[in-house]
Amino acid sequence: MLGHLSKESNFPELAYKTVVEELIANNYNENSLSLSVASRDTHSKLITI
């Protein structure tokens, strides 16, 4: 779960894209996990850890 999105200088698509690109650059299979972006304004889906 990605969080702490700034109201002025970040947006969900950029946060998601940045993390996926970093996973790929480090030879991590990005399909082996479920990546979500938390909303600043509403609750997120329930996740099980």
> How high is the pLDDT of residue 5?
72
pLDDT at 42 > cutoff 90: no
Confidence of residue 6 (pLDDT cuts 50, 70, 90): confident
- Which residue type is seen at 43? H
Q: What is the pLDDT of residue 36?
A: 86
Predicted pLDDT of residue 26: 92
Structural domain count, the chain: 1
* CA trace torsion 46, 27, 20, 22 (10° rounding): 120
The residue range of the domain holding 32 is: 1-49
Place of tokens 């030879």: 27
Q: Which tens digit of pLDDT belongs to each residue from 15-41?
A: 889 998 999 899 987 678 888 888 878
What is the rounded distance in angstroms from the CA atom of residue 22 to the CA atom of residue 35? 13
